[in-house]
Amino acid sequence: MGLVLEAVDRALEVGCPVIWNSDQGSHFTSPQYLTRVEGPGIQVSMDGKGRALDNIFTERLWRTVKYEEVVRFVPRKRVDTHAGKRARGG
């Protein structure tokens, strides 16, 4: 849960959207999450049950990123994680 809340905080530092969409997973329906998102006056929109295909393009994008940038690159040492990120332009 901490990672989700940290990501929300970081996103809200960059900008404040009018509508915030998520699925109905336990992280996104928790009081801590909803308080953070609704606090600045953002309207929360949640996908309905069984609507997995609504975000299929986003899911495919993250699958591609995962397999091309995470699974393929296996660092040998901890410092290699940063070196690999820099080598790939990250």
pLDDT tens, residue by residue, 1-60: 788 899 999 999 999 899 988 878 888 889 999 999 998 889 988 877 666 666 677 778
* Residue whose structure tokens are 């929300």: 8
Query: Is residue 54 a contact partner of residue 76, using CB atoms and an 8 Å limit?
Result: no
User: In what helix (H) or strand (E) does residue 43 lie, and over which residues does it extend?
Assistant: strand 43-46
Q: Phi and psi at residue 42, in whole multiples of 5°? A: -80, 140
Cβ neighbours, 10 Å, residue 33: 20
- Does the pTM surpass 0.85? The reply is no
Token digits for 69? 């940038």
